[in-house]
Amino acid sequence: MWPPLVSYKKEEMCPLRISEQKVEIVFLGEKEEMIVDKCGVAGFKFKNNNVFPYLYYSLRALQHRGQESAGMAIYSDGSIKEHRAMGLVSEVFENIYIEGNVGIGHVRYSTQGSSSIKNAQPLVMFTKIGIMAVSHNGEIANAHELREKLMAEGHTFVTESDSEIIAKVISIETSKTGDFVLGIKRAMRILRGSYSLAILINDRLFGIRDPLGIRPLALGKVDFGYGIASESVAFDSLDGEFIRDVLPGEIVEVKEDGFITHARIKKKHYAHCMFEYVYFARADSIIDGKSVYEVRKNLGRILAEEQPVDGDVVVPVPDSGRAHALGYSEKSGIPFAEGIMKNRYVERTFIMPYQEHRVAGIKLKLNPVKSVVSGKRIILVDDSIVRGNTMLKIVNMLRKAGAKEVHVRIGSPPIIAPCYLGIDMKTRDQFIATDRTWEEIARAINADSVGYLSIEGLVKAIGHARENLCLGCLTGEYPVRIKGEKFREVKQIEDY
Protein backbone atom coordinates (compact mmCIF):
# COMPACT_ATOMS: atom_id res chain seq x y z
CA MET A 1 0.00 0.00 0.00
CA TRP A 2 1.25 3.45 -0.87
CA PRO A 3 0.91 6.14 1.81
CA PRO A 4 -1.73 8.80 1.17
CA LEU A 5 -0.84 11.88 -0.82
CA VAL A 6 -1.01 14.94 1.42
CA SER A 7 -1.89 17.99 -0.66
CA TYR A 8 -1.82 21.65 0.20
CA LYS A 9 -3.25 24.32 -2.02
CA LYS A 10 -1.47 27.60 -2.18
CA GLU A 11 -4.17 29.40 -0.21
CA GLU A 12 -3.77 26.96 2.70
CA MET A 13 -0.02 27.44 2.97
CA CYS A 14 0.33 31.19 2.45
CA PRO A 15 -2.11 34.05 3.06
CA LEU A 16 -0.87 36.01 0.06
CA ARG A 17 -2.35 35.19 -3.34
CA ILE A 18 0.93 35.18 -5.19
CA SER A 19 -0.03 32.93 -8.08
CA GLU A 20 -2.88 30.82 -9.31
CA GLN A 21 -0.84 27.68 -8.82
CA LYS A 22 -0.84 25.19 -5.97
CA VAL A 23 1.80 23.09 -4.28
CA GLU A 24 1.36 19.51 -3.18
CA ILE A 25 3.67 18.14 -0.52
CA VAL A 26 4.13 14.40 -0.23
CA PHE A 27 5.98 12.78 2.64
CA LEU A 28 6.16 9.79 4.95
CA GLY A 29 5.34 10.04 8.63
CA GLU A 30 4.12 13.01 10.61
CA LYS A 31 3.36 16.00 8.43
CA GLU A 32 4.83 18.43 10.98
CA GLU A 33 8.31 17.09 10.22
CA MET A 34 10.20 17.95 7.04
CA ILE A 35 13.82 17.82 5.66
CA VAL A 36 16.21 20.30 3.73
CA ASP A 37 19.89 21.37 2.84
CA LYS A 38 22.99 20.61 0.82
CA CYS A 39 25.45 18.18 -0.64
CA GLY A 40 24.23 16.40 -3.75
CA VAL A 41 21.81 17.81 -6.34
CA ALA A 42 20.16 16.54 -9.51
CA GLY A 43 17.54 17.71 -11.98
CA PHE A 44 15.97 16.47 -15.23
CA LYS A 45 13.58 17.76 -17.84
CA PHE A 46 11.81 15.53 -20.38
CA LYS A 47 9.22 16.24 -23.03
CA ASN A 48 6.67 13.60 -22.07
CA ASN A 49 8.30 10.95 -19.88
CA ASN A 50 8.34 10.83 -16.10
CA VAL A 51 11.53 12.08 -14.41
CA PHE A 52 10.98 10.33 -11.06
CA PRO A 53 12.97 7.13 -11.76
CA TYR A 54 15.83 9.18 -13.22
CA LEU A 55 15.95 11.41 -10.18
CA TYR A 56 15.77 8.37 -7.91
CA TYR A 57 18.72 6.54 -9.47
CA SER A 58 20.80 9.68 -9.87
CA LEU A 59 20.35 10.40 -6.16
CA ARG A 60 21.33 6.81 -5.40
CA ALA A 61 24.51 7.42 -7.40
CA LEU A 62 25.13 10.60 -5.37
CA GLN A 63 24.34 9.00 -2.00
CA HIS A 64 27.99 9.31 -0.94
CA ARG A 65 27.51 13.08 -0.83
CA GLY A 66 24.90 12.92 1.91
CA GLN A 67 23.16 10.23 3.95
CA GLU A 68 21.05 12.21 6.42
CA SER A 69 18.11 13.10 4.21
CA ALA A 70 16.81 13.01 0.67
CA GLY A 71 14.07 14.73 -1.27
CA MET A 72 12.50 15.57 -4.63
CA ALA A 73 10.34 18.32 -6.03
CA ILE A 74 8.55 17.53 -9.31
CA TYR A 75 6.41 19.93 -11.33
CA SER A 76 3.34 18.69 -13.16
CA ASP A 77 0.13 20.33 -14.38
CA GLY A 78 0.57 23.59 -12.50
CA SER A 79 1.67 22.08 -9.17
CA ILE A 80 4.82 20.97 -7.39
CA LYS A 81 4.73 17.62 -5.62
CA GLU A 82 7.41 17.35 -2.99
CA HIS A 83 8.69 14.57 -0.75
CA ARG A 84 11.46 14.93 1.84
CA ALA A 85 12.44 12.71 4.76
CA MET A 86 15.36 11.65 6.93
CA GLY A 87 17.29 8.62 5.74
CA LEU A 88 18.89 7.12 2.64
CA VAL A 89 17.31 7.54 -0.79
CA SER A 90 16.07 3.94 -0.84
CA GLU A 91 14.36 4.46 2.53
CA VAL A 92 12.93 7.90 1.83
CA PHE A 93 11.30 6.85 -1.45
CA GLU A 94 10.13 3.39 -0.48
CA ASN A 95 6.54 3.11 -1.79
CA ILE A 96 6.70 6.69 -3.13
CA TYR A 97 6.18 7.59 -6.79
CA ILE A 98 5.69 11.14 -8.07
CA GLU A 99 4.72 11.87 -11.66
CA GLY A 100 5.95 14.79 -13.74
CA ASN A 101 8.29 15.58 -16.60
CA VAL A 102 10.58 18.08 -14.82
CA GLY A 103 12.00 17.93 -11.31
CA ILE A 104 14.93 18.25 -8.96
CA GLY A 105 16.36 16.12 -6.16
CA HIS A 106 18.72 16.39 -3.22
CA VAL A 107 20.75 14.36 -0.73
CA ARG A 108 22.11 16.09 2.35
CA TYR A 109 24.61 16.08 5.14
CA SER A 110 24.61 19.07 7.45
CA THR A 111 27.16 21.87 7.23
CA GLN A 112 24.94 24.85 8.14
CA GLY A 113 21.72 23.96 9.90
CA SER A 114 21.20 21.00 12.20
CA SER A 115 20.58 17.43 11.12
CA SER A 116 16.78 17.50 11.25
CA ILE A 117 13.76 17.24 9.02
CA LYS A 118 13.19 21.00 8.86
CA ASN A 119 16.60 21.46 7.21
CA ALA A 120 16.08 19.04 4.32
CA GLN A 121 15.67 19.84 0.63
CA PRO A 122 14.46 20.70 -1.98
CA LEU A 123 13.12 23.90 -0.45
CA VAL A 124 9.84 25.10 -1.98
CA MET A 125 8.54 28.68 -1.79
CA PHE A 126 6.23 31.06 -3.63
CA THR A 127 7.46 34.03 -5.64
CA LYS A 128 5.78 36.73 -7.71
CA ILE A 129 6.44 34.76 -10.88
CA GLY A 130 5.47 31.31 -9.59
CA ILE A 131 6.53 28.42 -7.40
CA MET A 132 10.27 27.95 -6.88
CA ALA A 133 12.08 24.85 -5.62
CA VAL A 134 15.78 24.93 -4.74
CA SER A 135 18.38 22.19 -4.20
CA HIS A 136 21.73 23.48 -2.95
CA ASN A 137 25.20 22.00 -2.59
CA GLY A 138 27.66 24.26 -0.82
CA GLU A 139 27.70 26.90 1.87
CA ILE A 140 27.11 30.64 1.89
CA ALA A 141 29.90 32.39 3.76
CA ASN A 142 27.92 35.59 4.36
CA ALA A 143 24.73 33.76 5.33
CA HIS A 144 24.59 35.21 8.85
CA GLU A 145 24.82 38.83 7.75
CA LEU A 146 22.29 38.26 4.97
CA ARG A 147 19.87 36.59 7.37
CA GLU A 148 20.19 39.49 9.84
CA LYS A 149 19.63 42.02 7.06
CA LEU A 150 16.57 40.21 5.71
CA MET A 151 15.06 39.75 9.16
CA ALA A 152 15.57 43.47 9.87
CA GLU A 153 13.58 44.12 6.68
CA GLY A 154 10.72 41.97 7.96
CA HIS A 155 11.44 38.64 6.27
CA THR A 156 10.91 35.44 8.24
CA PHE A 157 12.64 32.07 8.03
CA VAL A 158 11.33 28.56 8.69
CA THR A 159 14.67 26.70 8.53
CA GLU A 160 18.21 27.10 9.87
CA SER A 161 19.57 26.49 6.38
CA ASP A 162 21.51 28.97 4.28
CA SER A 163 19.69 27.45 1.30
CA GLU A 164 16.58 29.35 2.39
CA ILE A 165 18.64 32.54 2.25
CA ILE A 166 19.58 31.73 -1.36
CA ALA A 167 15.92 31.23 -2.25
CA LYS A 168 14.91 34.47 -0.51
CA VAL A 169 17.61 36.54 -2.21
CA ILE A 170 16.76 35.14 -5.66
CA SER A 171 13.05 35.76 -5.04
CA ILE A 172 13.66 39.34 -3.90
CA GLU A 173 15.95 40.20 -6.79
CA THR A 174 13.55 38.57 -9.26
CA SER A 175 10.64 40.62 -7.89
CA LYS A 176 12.62 43.82 -8.49
CA THR A 177 13.25 43.02 -12.15
CA GLY A 178 10.40 40.70 -13.15
CA ASP A 179 13.04 38.56 -14.89
CA PHE A 180 14.13 35.30 -13.28
CA VAL A 181 17.51 35.04 -15.01
CA LEU A 182 18.36 38.64 -14.17
CA GLY A 183 17.21 37.98 -10.61
CA ILE A 184 19.60 35.04 -10.35
CA LYS A 185 22.45 37.08 -11.79
CA ARG A 186 21.86 39.88 -9.29
CA ALA A 187 21.63 37.34 -6.46
CA MET A 188 24.98 35.83 -7.49
CA ARG A 189 26.62 39.18 -6.83
CA ILE A 190 25.13 39.26 -3.32
CA LEU A 191 25.78 35.66 -2.26
CA ARG A 192 29.37 34.99 -1.18
CA GLY A 193 30.54 31.43 -0.90
CA SER A 194 29.97 28.10 -2.62
CA TYR A 195 26.82 27.00 -4.37
CA SER A 196 25.84 24.57 -7.06
CA LEU A 197 22.09 24.87 -7.51
CA ALA A 198 19.30 22.97 -9.20
CA ILE A 199 16.29 25.29 -9.34
CA LEU A 200 12.73 24.86 -10.57
CA ILE A 201 10.69 27.97 -11.31
CA ASN A 202 7.33 26.58 -12.38
CA ASP A 203 8.26 24.15 -15.17
CA ARG A 204 11.65 25.70 -15.97
CA LEU A 205 14.83 23.97 -14.76
CA PHE A 206 18.06 25.87 -14.09
CA GLY A 207 21.57 24.88 -13.05
CA ILE A 208 23.74 27.54 -11.42
CA ARG A 209 27.34 27.36 -10.22
CA ASP A 210 29.09 29.99 -8.13
CA PRO A 211 31.61 32.22 -9.96
CA LEU A 212 34.61 30.54 -8.33
CA GLY A 213 33.42 27.02 -9.21
CA ILE A 214 34.01 25.74 -5.68
CA ARG A 215 31.46 22.90 -5.83
CA PRO A 216 30.99 20.73 -8.95
CA LEU A 217 27.97 20.62 -11.26
CA ALA A 218 27.63 18.55 -14.43
CA LEU A 219 25.41 18.58 -17.52
CA GLY A 220 24.28 15.34 -19.11
CA LYS A 221 21.92 13.60 -21.53
CA VAL A 222 19.75 10.55 -20.84
CA ASP A 223 17.19 8.64 -22.91
CA PHE A 224 14.32 11.12 -22.74
CA GLY A 225 16.01 14.47 -22.18
CA TYR A 226 18.72 16.39 -20.36
CA GLY A 227 19.74 17.00 -16.79
CA ILE A 228 22.14 18.37 -14.21
CA ALA A 229 23.84 16.61 -11.31
CA SER A 230 26.59 17.24 -8.77
CA GLU A 231 28.77 14.59 -10.42
CA SER A 232 29.07 12.88 -13.78
CA VAL A 233 28.48 9.45 -12.19
CA ALA A 234 24.79 10.30 -11.92
CA PHE A 235 24.53 10.10 -15.71
CA ASP A 236 26.69 6.96 -15.86
CA SER A 237 24.25 5.22 -13.52
CA LEU A 238 21.43 6.00 -15.96
CA ASP A 239 23.37 4.78 -19.01
CA GLY A 240 23.44 8.41 -20.09
CA GLU A 241 26.13 10.74 -21.40
CA PHE A 242 28.13 13.29 -19.45
CA ILE A 243 28.35 16.37 -21.67
CA ARG A 244 30.39 18.90 -19.71
CA ASP A 245 30.73 20.76 -16.43
CA VAL A 246 28.56 23.76 -15.75
CA LEU A 247 31.15 26.53 -15.91
CA PRO A 248 31.91 28.66 -12.86
CA GLY A 249 29.43 31.56 -12.77
CA GLU A 250 27.22 30.03 -15.47
CA ILE A 251 23.41 30.11 -15.46
CA VAL A 252 22.16 27.19 -17.56
CA GLU A 253 18.56 26.43 -18.40
CA VAL A 254 17.94 22.74 -19.05
CA LYS A 255 15.46 21.93 -21.81
CA GLU A 256 14.06 18.59 -22.91
CA ASP A 257 16.11 18.89 -26.12
CA GLY A 258 19.28 20.51 -24.78
CA PHE A 259 20.36 23.43 -22.67
CA ILE A 260 20.83 27.19 -22.97
CA THR A 261 23.44 29.37 -21.29
CA HIS A 262 21.65 32.57 -20.27
CA ALA A 263 24.53 34.37 -18.60
CA ARG A 264 27.92 33.88 -17.01
CA ILE A 265 29.77 35.83 -14.35
CA LYS A 266 33.44 35.34 -15.20
CA LYS A 267 36.47 35.38 -12.93
CA LYS A 268 40.10 35.33 -13.98
CA HIS A 269 40.76 32.56 -11.48
CA TYR A 270 38.63 29.90 -9.81
CA ALA A 271 38.71 28.07 -6.48
CA HIS A 272 37.85 24.43 -7.11
CA CYS A 273 37.69 22.55 -3.80
CA MET A 274 40.73 20.30 -3.44
CA PHE A 275 38.77 18.04 -1.06
CA GLU A 276 36.39 17.03 -3.86
CA TYR A 277 39.37 15.41 -5.62
CA VAL A 278 41.00 14.04 -2.48
CA TYR A 279 37.94 12.51 -0.80
CA PHE A 280 34.45 13.81 -1.31
CA ALA A 281 33.60 12.97 -4.94
CA ARG A 282 33.25 9.43 -6.21
CA ALA A 283 36.44 8.11 -7.80
CA ASP A 284 34.67 7.38 -11.10
CA SER A 285 33.54 11.00 -11.54
CA ILE A 286 35.02 13.58 -13.86
CA ILE A 287 35.18 17.07 -12.33
CA ASP A 288 36.31 20.14 -14.25
CA GLY A 289 37.96 17.99 -16.88
CA LYS A 290 39.88 15.80 -14.41
CA SER A 291 39.32 12.11 -13.70
CA VAL A 292 39.01 11.86 -9.91
CA TYR A 293 40.43 8.32 -9.98
CA GLU A 294 43.53 9.37 -11.93
CA VAL A 295 44.03 12.37 -9.65
CA ARG A 296 43.97 10.06 -6.62
CA LYS A 297 46.47 7.66 -8.16
CA ASN A 298 48.70 10.64 -8.95
CA LEU A 299 48.41 11.73 -5.32
CA GLY A 300 49.66 8.30 -4.26
CA ARG A 301 52.53 8.28 -6.75
CA ILE A 302 53.79 11.69 -5.64
CA LEU A 303 53.29 10.70 -1.99
CA ALA A 304 55.60 7.70 -2.54
CA GLU A 305 58.24 10.04 -3.97
CA GLU A 306 57.94 12.56 -1.16
CA GLN A 307 57.40 10.20 1.80
CA PRO A 308 59.13 6.86 1.13
CA VAL A 309 59.36 4.25 3.89
CA ASP A 310 60.49 0.63 4.08
CA GLY A 311 57.57 -1.75 4.28
CA ASP A 312 56.29 -5.15 3.22
CA VAL A 313 52.85 -4.24 1.94
CA VAL A 314 50.83 -1.16 0.99
CA VAL A 315 47.36 -1.34 2.53
CA PRO A 316 44.58 1.13 1.70
CA VAL A 317 41.96 2.40 4.09
CA PRO A 318 38.86 1.33 2.13
CA ASP A 319 37.39 2.81 0.12
CA SER A 320 38.76 6.34 0.41
CA GLY A 321 42.44 5.39 0.24
CA ARG A 322 42.34 2.70 -2.42
CA ALA A 323 43.38 4.72 -5.49
CA HIS A 324 45.99 6.62 -3.47
CA ALA A 325 47.44 3.31 -2.25
CA LEU A 326 47.55 1.88 -5.77
CA GLY A 327 49.56 4.89 -6.90
CA TYR A 328 51.87 4.57 -3.90
CA SER A 329 52.42 0.86 -4.61
CA GLU A 330 53.10 1.39 -8.30
CA LYS A 331 55.65 4.12 -7.65
CA SER A 332 57.37 2.46 -4.69
CA GLY A 333 57.34 -1.09 -6.04
CA ILE A 334 56.00 -2.35 -2.71
CA PRO A 335 53.13 -4.85 -3.17
CA PHE A 336 49.55 -3.68 -2.77
CA ALA A 337 47.13 -5.79 -0.72
CA GLU A 338 43.64 -5.43 0.69
CA GLY A 339 44.57 -5.72 4.34
CA ILE A 340 41.30 -4.25 5.59
CA MET A 341 37.83 -5.30 4.53
CA LYS A 342 34.89 -2.92 4.54
CA ASN A 343 31.28 -3.62 5.45
CA ARG A 344 29.60 -1.94 2.49
CA TYR A 345 26.32 -1.51 4.32
CA VAL A 346 27.66 1.06 6.77
CA GLU A 347 27.64 4.80 6.08
CA ARG A 348 30.73 6.96 5.49
CA THR A 349 31.87 7.83 9.01
CA PHE A 350 33.29 11.26 8.09
CA ILE A 351 29.88 12.62 7.10
CA MET A 352 28.00 11.21 10.07
CA PRO A 353 26.59 14.20 11.96
CA TYR A 354 27.82 13.37 15.46
CA GLN A 355 31.23 12.27 16.76
CA GLU A 356 29.90 9.36 18.83
CA HIS A 357 28.25 7.98 15.67
CA ARG A 358 31.54 8.23 13.77
CA VAL A 359 33.51 6.29 16.39
CA ALA A 360 30.84 3.59 16.71
CA GLY A 361 30.58 3.39 12.93
CA ILE A 362 34.27 2.59 12.58
CA LYS A 363 33.84 -0.62 14.60
CA LEU A 364 31.06 -1.81 12.30
CA LYS A 365 32.72 -0.66 9.11
CA LEU A 366 36.21 -2.19 8.96
CA ASN A 367 37.92 -5.48 9.79
CA PRO A 368 41.57 -6.54 9.20
CA VAL A 369 42.66 -9.46 7.04
CA LYS A 370 45.03 -11.19 9.43
CA SER A 371 46.80 -13.24 6.77
CA VAL A 372 47.84 -10.02 5.01
CA VAL A 373 48.68 -8.04 8.13
CA SER A 374 50.24 -10.41 10.66
CA GLY A 375 54.01 -10.03 11.03
CA LYS A 376 54.21 -7.40 8.27
CA ARG A 377 55.48 -3.84 8.09
CA ILE A 378 52.33 -2.09 6.91
CA ILE A 379 52.26 1.12 4.89
CA LEU A 380 48.72 2.32 5.58
CA VAL A 381 47.50 4.81 2.98
CA ASP A 382 44.48 7.08 3.26
CA ASP A 383 43.28 10.27 1.58
CA SER A 384 43.34 12.54 4.66
CA ILE A 385 43.28 12.74 8.43
CA VAL A 386 40.82 15.23 9.90
CA ARG A 387 40.05 14.44 13.54
CA GLY A 388 42.28 11.37 13.87
CA ASN A 389 39.71 9.15 15.57
CA THR A 390 39.25 6.83 12.61
CA MET A 391 42.98 6.48 12.00
CA LEU A 392 43.73 5.68 15.65
CA LYS A 393 41.10 2.92 15.61
CA ILE A 394 42.46 1.48 12.37
CA VAL A 395 46.10 1.50 13.49
CA ASN A 396 45.16 -0.23 16.75
CA MET A 397 43.08 -2.73 14.78
CA LEU A 398 46.10 -3.59 12.60
CA ARG A 399 48.38 -3.94 15.61
CA LYS A 400 45.88 -6.26 17.31
CA ALA A 401 45.84 -8.32 14.09
CA GLY A 402 49.62 -8.78 14.39
CA ALA A 403 51.12 -5.96 12.31
CA LYS A 404 54.85 -5.60 13.06
CA GLU A 405 54.95 -1.89 12.13
CA VAL A 406 52.34 0.58 10.89
CA HIS A 407 53.52 3.57 8.84
CA VAL A 408 50.72 5.97 7.91
CA ARG A 409 50.93 7.86 4.63
CA ILE A 410 48.36 10.52 3.73
CA GLY A 411 47.53 11.61 0.17
CA SER A 412 46.92 15.26 1.11
CA PRO A 413 48.63 17.90 3.25
CA PRO A 414 47.72 18.38 6.92
CA ILE A 415 44.31 19.97 7.48
CA ILE A 416 44.86 22.90 9.84
CA ALA A 417 41.99 25.33 9.24
CA PRO A 418 38.17 25.25 9.07
CA CYS A 419 36.14 24.96 5.90
CA TYR A 420 33.48 27.63 5.46
CA LEU A 421 32.47 26.51 1.98
CA GLY A 422 30.63 23.23 2.32
CA ILE A 423 32.76 20.57 4.06
CA ASP A 424 31.99 19.70 7.68
CA MET A 425 35.25 20.88 9.25
CA LYS A 426 34.36 23.90 11.35
CA THR A 427 36.70 24.45 14.29
CA ARG A 428 40.46 24.29 14.57
CA ASP A 429 40.39 22.20 17.74
CA GLN A 430 38.88 19.34 15.68
CA PHE A 431 42.05 18.85 13.65
CA ILE A 432 44.74 16.46 14.78
CA ALA A 433 47.35 18.45 12.82
CA THR A 434 46.66 21.70 14.69
CA ASP A 435 49.84 22.72 16.58
CA ARG A 436 51.31 19.21 16.36
CA THR A 437 54.47 18.00 14.66
CA TRP A 438 54.28 14.90 12.47
CA GLU A 439 56.04 12.94 15.22
CA GLU A 440 53.37 14.06 17.70
CA ILE A 441 50.62 13.08 15.26
CA ALA A 442 52.20 9.64 14.84
CA ARG A 443 52.17 9.15 18.61
CA ALA A 444 48.56 10.36 18.81
CA ILE A 445 47.42 7.72 16.30
CA ASN A 446 49.81 5.01 17.63
CA ALA A 447 51.69 4.78 14.31
CA ASP A 448 55.42 4.17 13.83
CA SER A 449 55.54 7.16 11.47
CA VAL A 450 53.28 9.50 9.56
CA GLY A 451 53.93 11.29 6.28
CA TYR A 452 51.79 13.78 4.40
CA LEU A 453 51.77 14.95 0.80
CA SER A 454 53.04 18.49 0.23
CA ILE A 455 50.81 21.26 -1.09
CA GLU A 456 53.02 21.41 -4.18
CA GLY A 457 52.51 17.68 -4.71
CA LEU A 458 48.76 18.05 -4.26
CA VAL A 459 48.54 20.82 -6.86
CA LYS A 460 50.67 18.83 -9.31
CA ALA A 461 48.52 15.71 -8.89
CA ILE A 462 45.21 17.54 -9.41
CA GLY A 463 46.48 19.29 -12.51
CA HIS A 464 44.86 22.71 -11.94
CA ALA A 465 46.97 25.79 -11.30
CA ARG A 466 47.31 26.58 -7.61
CA GLU A 467 45.44 29.87 -8.05
CA ASN A 468 42.45 27.89 -9.39
CA LEU A 469 42.12 25.72 -6.25
CA CYS A 470 40.63 26.39 -2.85
CA LEU A 471 43.27 25.33 -0.31
CA GLY A 472 41.76 27.20 2.63
CA CYS A 473 41.68 24.21 5.00
CA LEU A 474 45.40 23.63 4.31
CA THR A 475 46.70 27.20 4.37
CA GLY A 476 44.16 29.23 6.37
CA GLU A 477 43.77 31.60 3.39
CA TYR A 478 40.36 31.63 1.68
CA PRO A 479 39.16 32.62 -1.81
CA VAL A 480 36.24 34.62 -0.36
CA ARG A 481 36.26 37.04 2.53
CA ILE A 482 35.58 35.30 5.85
CA LYS A 483 35.32 37.40 9.00
CA GLY A 484 38.40 36.82 11.15
CA GLU A 485 40.23 34.81 8.46
CA LYS A 486 42.86 35.64 5.85
CA PHE A 487 41.67 36.46 2.34
CA ARG A 488 43.69 34.77 -0.38
CA GLU A 489 45.87 37.39 -2.01
CA VAL A 490 45.38 36.70 -5.69
CA LYS A 491 45.19 40.05 -7.42
CA GLN A 492 43.06 38.82 -10.30
CA ILE A 493 40.32 37.49 -8.02
CA GLU A 494 37.84 40.21 -7.17
CA ASP A 495 35.88 39.95 -3.95
CA TYR A 496 32.33 39.50 -5.20
Residue where one domain finishes, among candidates 208, 233, 266: 266
Active-site residue flag, 39: yes
Instruction: Identify the CA nearest to 382 among candidates 371, 390, 373.
Output: 390
Mean pLDDT of 439-451: 98
Indicate whether 53 pLDDT > 90: yes
Q: By the 8 A CB rule, do 167 and 181 touch?
A: no
Same domain, 224 and 306: no
Same domain, 308 and 163: no
Which amino acid would we find at residue 55?
A: L
Which amino acid would we find at residue 468?
A: N
Least confident residue range of 182-186, 427-431, 464-468: 427-431
Please give the pLDDT value at position 111. 52
Q: Are strands 405-410 and 449-452 parallel, antiparallel or unpaired?
A: parallel
Residue where one domain finishes, among candidates 224, 240, 266: 266
Indicate whether 321 pLDDT > 70: yes
User: Does the residue 223 lie in any domain?
Assistant: yes
Please give the pLDDT value at position 112. 52
Same domain, 194 and 287: no
Sign of CA dihedral 216, 39, 114, 388: negative
Indicate whether 486 pLDDT > 80: yes
Same domain, 243 and 357: no
User: Does the residue 138 lie in any domain?
Assistant: yes
Instruction: Identify the CA nearest to 374 among candidates 342, 343, 406, 332.
Output: 406
Q: By the 8 A CB rule, do 392 and 362 touch?
A: no
How far is CA 304 from its chain centroid? 28
CA dist 136 and 65 (Å) reads: 12
Per-residue pLDDT tens over the stretch 55-106: 999 999 999 999 999 999 999 989 999 999 999 999 999 999 999 999 999 9
Q: By the 8 A CB rule, do 36 and 121 touch?
A: yes
User: Does the residue 490 lie in any domain?
Assistant: no
Please give the pLDDT value at position 220. 98
Q: How confident is the model at residue 494 (pLDDT cuts 50, 70, 90)?
A: very low
322 burial level (CB within 10 Å; 0-12, 13-18, 19+)? buried
Torsion angles phi and psi, residue 195, rounded to 5: -160, 125
Q: By the 8 A CB rule, do 401 and 374 touch?
A: yes
Can you tell me whether residue 378 is helix, strand or coil? strand
State the DSSP code for 197: E
Q: How confident is the model at residue 361 (pLDDT cuts 50, 70, 90)?
A: low
Indicate whether 461 pLDDT > 60: yes
CA dist 429 and 388 (Å) reads: 12
Torsion angles phi and psi, residue 71, rounded to 5: -165, 165
User: Does the residue 494 lie in any domain?
Assistant: no
Indicate whether 460 pLDDT > 70: yes
CATH number (domain holding residue 220): 3.60.20.10
356 burial level (CB within 10 Å; 0-12, 13-18, 19+)? exposed
pTM (predicted TM-score)? 0.87
User: Does the residue 354 lie in any domain?
Assistant: yes
State the DSSP code for 111: S
CA dist 106 and 122 (Å) reads: 6
Per-residue pLDDT tens over the stretch 126-148: 888 899 999 999 999 999 999 99
Same domain, 368 and 416: yes
Mean pLDDT of 43-61: 97
Please give the pLDDT value at position 444. 97
Reported as type and span, the H/E element at residue 286 is strand 286-287
Average pLDDT, the chain: 88
Instruction: Identify the CA nearest to 332 among candidates 297, 371, 368.
Output: 297
Same domain, 344 and 304: yes
User: Does the residue 5 lie in any domain?
Assistant: no
Please give the pLDDT value at position 359. 53
Same domain, 326 and 221: no
Same domain, 381 and 255: no
Domain tally, the chain? 2
Which residues are CB-contacts of 308 (< 8 A; sequence separation ≥ 6)? 332
User: Does the residue 4 lie in any domain?
Assistant: no
Can you tell me whether residue 490 is helix, strand or coil? coil
Q: Are strands 69-76 and 22-25 parallel, antiparallel or unpaired?
A: unpaired
CA dist 350 and 348 (Å) reads: 6
Q: By the 8 A CB rule, do 227 and 218 touch?
A: no
- Crossing angle of helices 292-306 and 322-332, in 10° steps, is 50
- Domain of residue 53 covers 10-266
Per-residue pLDDT tens over the stretch 324-339: 999 999 999 999 999 9
CA dist 208 and 441 (Å) reads: 41
User: Does the residue 61 lie in any domain?
Assistant: yes
Please give the pLDDT value at position 395. 98
Mean pLDDT of 153-177: 93
Please give the pLDDT value at position 129. 85
Indicate whether 346 pLDDT > 80: no
Same domain, 306 and 433: yes
Mean pLDDT of 403-408: 98
Indicate whether 28 pLDDT > 70: no
Residue where one domain finishes, among candidates 266, 300, 333: 266
Find the catalytic residue in 39, 273, 470, 473. 39
Q: By the 8 A CB rule, do 292 and 242 touch?
A: no
